[in-house]
């Protein structure tokens, strides 16, 4: 048994509109939704249709998140840029100038920033998603909406910061006279990969954090570790050939490599690595969604 | 067409008591697992943690357009039932079906964020309660007008007074137009004027053909607004019938409990109270003329009520108001202590006692509940308000106190001065 929405075709929706014309003008559907509530099963339905229904709320959640973040701040959107830039400076100095790691022909600042940009997005989205359920515990216990919207909105709201920091990347690329090419078209693809990775891992962590409160403290440490397991501070060419596919199971490896290539056109990522990353993302997403839905039933009682 | 809008069959919800204690930390889970692996037995609670059924075998139907009141003592499962129907928590057994768009009003101010302005909060709160953006835009002016916060629309919510926040929150919620509305005691906040506005709006909503499920302790409101009722006791349906039937049965049972009791009503542990809590009732005693605590008085017998209060935060001036509610929920009469005693300034950490002597007693025989409130003298805002205390009874009497009840109409049997001229 599982919970699902069965739209039952009926006549007008009761109450809101005296005329059909008005109802249609407002875009309301002329159906009566029936909600059947039963004890949750082991294999909860994914219910993507419901997510479409609530897309406006998702928009409002992201909008609210961004508004609140930048209210009463001095620099406002500037914060989106400061972190990746500062890290880039440090990396360029220590990993670049001093340690002299191979950067595949790219100037160090560009090499690092092109990787730090999607990485900063990912780290922020993941941290945000982890805490999303617990932070909104008040709202969860009072009103119904698909709980998936919470980590989803955390993952999406990071994109605004990403967009701002991306401007700087374009500026840098121009400064270093990097010629634009057809590889630029792949930027959205790799960004999507990053979004899905953040979502997959975020769903797991959000659910776990709601049940076990100390998960939140582990995440920053895990993210740091994850960064060093990804080709942010070094190129993936440093990893020996035979390990590269395994290395690619870290979806962020595919994202970082791909992103660097999409901006500069140098050092295209190996196919094996990309394939491994893509598979890993799909697996994480499905597993994360399943676990989240399963835990959803318990959350309101426990949070 | 009168199809069932809500149909509940054998609904049950079980809570595991262990989970309520504290949040589990991952290390606790690992520690337990390790202990288990080493063969050490868990103290008493092994696999099945102690659990309790908040709801068991609950079944009832609500037809389209009906307003059903869910009543019962604290802990009877009313809020749990509402949460399940709203989709917030899931049942452990049984099933429920809800036809139509559901709006849940389980608190006032859902989704409000102090950093956002009034305008922004209207949009977000409206959206999370279930309104579409077009809908919010269409009703925006009405919502603002109803709440009365026009001038502050673009200031952050944290600068609003609590009264303004409440009005805005309720205004947004009041303009929800779902087909099925679930309301949980949301009317029990704010000052008198706000209460009246809320009640009025609720009545308007129920007349509009919507199906409403209303949880409340306020028997008067339930009688007024609801057509049907469900009395939940200890998680099961004790009675399902018309609102009047259920309210009567419920108050009668509460009376039966009280008859065995004394005239001492302990308020300290009660949570079904409203107000900012700066002064709180601790104990209320009803005593007869000899000073004995009782809860049944004869017709015409004078009695005394003593109100023991604790001041938790200083308050400039407040007054105590009491009302006598008859068993049908109507307010027979009210009295304010300021009618014959002075207003006092109360300091933090002090205790006070107000004594009220009811003489002559003109209440007709029957069961009554006392309603007591402490109100802020300047704003008439509720400081502490307890809906039903008691009940207590006025019995037929033996004429000992000079009079006998004669069944005349009216809520009281007063003694007026008549004279032939």
Give the pLDDT of chain A (303 residues) as one tens digit per residue.
333 444 433 333 334 444 444 545 454 444 466 778 888 776 666 677 888 889 999 999 999 998 888 887 777 777 778 888 898 999 888 888 888 888 877 888 888 999 999 999 999 999 999 999 988 888 888 888 989 999 999 999 999 999 989 988 988 888 888 877 888 888 999 999 999 999 999 999 999 998 888 888 889 999 999 999 999 988 888 888 888 878 888 999 999 999 988 888 877 888 888 888 899 999 999 999 888 988 887 777 776
Between positions 125 and 184 of B, the ones with CB within 8 A of A are: 127-130, 132-135, 138, 156, 177-179
Q: How confident is the model at residue B163, as a pLDDT?
A: 82
Instruction: Tell me, yes or no, whether B186 and B299 share the same domain.
Output: no
The residue that leads in pLDDT, B208 or B171, is B171
Size of interface A-B (CB pairs under 8 A): 139
Q: How confident is the model at residue B325, as a pLDDT?
A: 87
What is the domain extent for residue B182? 4-30+52-252
Domain count, chain B: 2
Are the Cβ atoms of A32 and B133 closer than 8 angstroms?
no
Last residue of a domain, one of B203, B226, B252: B252
Q: How confident is the model at residue B307, as a pLDDT?
A: 93
Rounded Cα distance, B174 and B169, in Å: 9
For the cut 90, the answer to whether the pLDDT of residue B390 exceeds it is: no
CA distance B104 to chain A (A): 6
pLDDT mean across residues, chain B: 83
Instruction: Tell me, yes or no, whether B137 and B178 share the same domain.
Output: yes
Contact B358, B324 (CB under 8 A): no
A23 touches chain B (CB under 8 A): no
Q: Is residue B42 part of a domain?
A: no
Q: How confident is the model at residue B199, as a pLDDT?
A: 78
Closest CA to A96 of B344, A12, B303, A104: A104
Domain boundaries, chain A: 1-39, 47-302
Strands B296-298 vs B382-395: parallel, antiparallel or unpaired: parallel
Instruction: Tell me, yes or no, whether B174 and B89 share the same domain.
Output: yes
A34 touches chain B (CB under 8 A): yes
The residue that leads in pLDDT, B45 or B294, is B294
For the cut 90, the answer to whether the pLDDT of residue B411 exceeds it is: no
Instruction: Tell me, yes or no, whether B102 and B191 share the same domain.
Output: yes
Q: What is the 3-state secondary structure (H, E, C) of chain B?
A: CCCEEEEEEEEEEEEEHHHHHCCECHHHHHHHHHHHHCCCCCCCCCCCCCEEEEEEEEEEEEECCCEEEEECCCCCCHHHHHHHHHCCCCCCEEEEEEECCEEEECCCCCCCCCCCEHHHHHHHHHHHHCCCHHHHHHHHHHHHHHHCCHHHCCCEHHHCCHHHHHHHHHHHHHCCCCCEEEEECCCCCCCHHHHHHHHHHHHHHHHCCCEEEEECCCHHHHHHHCCEEEEEECCEEEEEEEHHHHHHHHHHHHHHHHHCCCCEEECCCCCCEECCCCEEEEEEEEECCCCCECCEEECCCCEEEEEEEEECCCEEEEEEEEEEEECCCCEEEEEEHHHCCCCEEECCCCEEEEEEEECCCCECCEEEEEEEEEEECCCCCEEEEEEEEEEEEEECCCCCCCCCCCCCCCCECCCCCCCCC
Retrieve residue A61's tokens.
Answer: 């959640």
Which residues of chain B are within 8 Å of residue A57 when distances are taken between CB atoms? Answer: 127-128
What is the CATH classification number for the domain harbouring B338? Answer: 2.70.50.60
Which stretches within chain A are classed as H helix?
20-25, 48-53, 55-70, 79-91, 108-135, 137-140, 149-175, 187-211, 215-228, 244-247, 251-264, 271-302
Are the Cβ atoms of A56 and B132 closer than 8 angstroms?
yes
Instruction: Tell me, yes or no, whether B247 and B277 share the same domain.
Output: no
Which residues of chain B are within 8 Å of residue A26 when distances are taken between CB atoms? Answer: 132, 134-135, 138
**Mean pLDDT on B370-382:** 88
Closest CA to B304 of B286, B322, B283, B284: B286
Which residues of chain B are within 8 Å of residue A68 when distances are taken between CB atoms? Answer: 113, 115-116
Q: How confident is the model at residue B44, as a pLDDT?
A: 37
Retrieve residue A248's tokens.
Answer: 């690619």
Between positions 59 and 98 of B, the ones with CB within 8 A of A are: 64, 83-98
Q: How confident is the model at residue A190, as a pLDDT?
A: 92
Q: Mention every residue, 6+ apart, whose C-beta is less than 8 A from residue A92.
A: A108, A109, A112
What is the CATH classification number for the domain harbouring B72? Answer: 3.40.50.300
Instruction: Tell me, yes or no, whether B298 and B221 share the same domain.
Output: no
Tell me the β-bridge partners of B6.
Answer: B62, B98
B100 touches chain A (CB under 8 A): yes
Q: Three-state SS for A62?
A: helix
Are the Cβ atoms of A143 and B23 closer than 8 angstroms?
no
Q: Is residue B46 part of a domain?
A: no
Last residue of a domain, one of B221, B252, B283: B252
Residue A212 DSSP symbol: B
Q: How confident is the model at residue B65, as a pLDDT?
A: 86
Are the Cβ atoms of A36 and B97 closer than 8 angstroms?
yes
Instruction: Tell me, yes or no, whether B236 and B341 share the same domain.
Output: no
Instruction: Tell me, yes or no, whether B360 and B222 share the same domain.
Output: no
Determine the Cα angle at A88 with ends A83 and A92, to 5°.
160
pLDDT grade, residue B134 (50/70/90)?
Answer: very high
Which residues of chain A are within 8 Å of residue B108 when distances are taken between CB atoms? Answer: none
Strands B180-184 vs B211-215: parallel, antiparallel or unpaired: parallel
Instruction: Tell me, yes or no, whether B182 and B297 share the same domain.
Output: no
Instruction: Tell me, yes or no, whether B370 and B248 share the same domain.
Output: no
Last residue of a domain, one of B252, B284, B307: B252
pLDDT grade, residue B365 (50/70/90)?
Answer: confident
Rounded Cα distance, B185 and B165, in Å: 18
How does pLDDT run across B24-78, given as a tens digit for each residue?
566 666 776 666 555 444 443 434 567 788 899 999 999 888 899 998 887 788 8
Q: Is residue B371 part of a domain?
A: yes
How does pLDDT run across A5-48, given as a tens digit for each residue?
444 333 333 344 444 445 454 544 444 667 788 887 766 666 77
The residue that leads in pLDDT, B95 or A19, is B95
Instruction: Tell me, yes or no, whether B216 and B275 share the same domain.
Output: no
């Amino acid at each position: 048994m599982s919970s699902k929405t069965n739209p039952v075709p009926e006549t007008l929706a009761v109450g809101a509109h005296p005329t059909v014309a008005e109802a249609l003008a407002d875009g309301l559907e002329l159906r009566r939704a029936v909600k059947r509530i039963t004890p949750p099963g082991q294999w909860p339905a994914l219910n993507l249709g419901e997510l479409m229904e609530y897309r406006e709320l998702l928009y409002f959640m992201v909008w609210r998140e961004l508004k609140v973040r930048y209210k009463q701040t001095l620099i406002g959107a500037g914060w989106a840029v400061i972190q990746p830039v500062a890290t880039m400076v440090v990396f360029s100095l220590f990993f670049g100038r001093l340690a002299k790691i191979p950067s595949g022909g790219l100037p160090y600042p560009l090499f690092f920033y092109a990787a730090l940009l999607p990485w900063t997005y990912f780290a922020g989205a993941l941290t945000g998603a982890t805490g999303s359920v617990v932070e909104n515990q008040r709202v969860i216990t009072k009103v119904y909406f698909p709980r998936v919207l919470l980590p989803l909105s955390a993952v999406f709201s990071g994109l605004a910061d990403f967009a701002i920091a991306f401007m700087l990347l374009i500026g840098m690329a121009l400064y270093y006279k990097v010629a634009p090419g057809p590889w630029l078209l792949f930027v959205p693809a790799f960004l999507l990969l990053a979004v899905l990775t953040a979502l997959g891992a975020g769903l797991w962590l959000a659910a776990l954090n709601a049940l076990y409160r100390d998960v939140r403290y582990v995440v920053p440490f895990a993210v740091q570790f994850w960064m060093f397991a990804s080709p942010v501070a070094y190129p993936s060419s440093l990893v020996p050939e035979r390990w590269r596919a395994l290395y690619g199971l870290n979806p962020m490896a595919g994202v970082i490599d791909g992103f660097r290539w999409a901006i500069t056109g140098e050092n295209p990522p190996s196919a094996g690595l990309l394939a491994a990353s893509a598979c890993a993302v799909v697996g994480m997403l499905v597993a994360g969604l399943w676990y989240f839905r399963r835990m959803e039933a318990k959350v309101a009682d426990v949070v | 067409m009168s199809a069932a809008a809500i149909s509940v069959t054998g609904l049950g919800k079980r809570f595991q008591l262990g989970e309520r204690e504290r949040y589990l930390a991952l290390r606790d889970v690992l520690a337990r697992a390790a202990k288990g692996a080493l063969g050490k037995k868990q103290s008493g609670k092994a696999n099945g943690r102690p659990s309790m059924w908040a709801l068991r075998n609950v079944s009832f139907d609500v037809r389209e357009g009906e307003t059903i009141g869910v009543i019962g003592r604290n802990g009877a499962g009313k809020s749990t039932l509402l949460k399940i129907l709203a989709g917030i928590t899931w049942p452990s057994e049984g099933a429920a079906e809800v036809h139509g768009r559901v709006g849940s009003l389980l608190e006032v101010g859902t989704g409000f964020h102090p950093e956002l302005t009034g305008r922004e909060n209207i949009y977000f709160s409206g959206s999370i309660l279930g309104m579409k953006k077009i809908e919010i835009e269409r009703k925006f002016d009405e919502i603002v007008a109803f709440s009365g916060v026009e001038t502050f629309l673009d200031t952050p919510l944290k600068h609003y007074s609590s009264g303004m926040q409440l009005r805005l929150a309720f205004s947004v919620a009041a303009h929800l137009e779902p087909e099925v509305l679930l309301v949980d005691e949301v009317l029990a906040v704010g000052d008198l004027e706000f209460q009246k506005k809320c009640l009025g709006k609720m009545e308007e909503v129920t007349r509009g053909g919507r199906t409403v499920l209303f949880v409340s302790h306020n028997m008067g409101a339930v009688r007024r607004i609801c057509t049907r009722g469900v009395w939940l006791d200890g998680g099961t349906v004790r009675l399902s019938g018309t609102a009047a039937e259920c309210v009567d049965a419920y108050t009668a049972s509460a009376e039966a409990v009280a008859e065995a009791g004394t005239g001492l009503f302990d308020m300290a542990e009660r949570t079904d109270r409203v107000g900012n809590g700066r002064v709180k009732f601790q104990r209320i005693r009803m005593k007869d003329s000899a000073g004995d605590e009782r809860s049944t008085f004869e017709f015409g017998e004078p009695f005394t009520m003593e109100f023991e209060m604790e001041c938790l935060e200083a308050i400039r001036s407040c007054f105590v108001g009491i009302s006598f509610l008859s068993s049908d929920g109507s307010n027979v009469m009210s009295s304010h202590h300021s009618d014959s005693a002075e207003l006092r300034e109360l300091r933090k950490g002090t205790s006070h006692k107000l004594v009220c002597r009811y003489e002559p007693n003109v209440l007709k025989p029957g069961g009554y509940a006392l309603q007591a409130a402490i109100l802020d003298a300047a704003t008439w805002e509720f400081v502490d308000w307890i809906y039903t205390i008691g009940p207590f009874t006025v019995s037929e009497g033996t004429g000992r106190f000079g009079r006998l009840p004669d069944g005349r109409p009216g809520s009281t049997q007063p003694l007026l001065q008549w004279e032939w001229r």
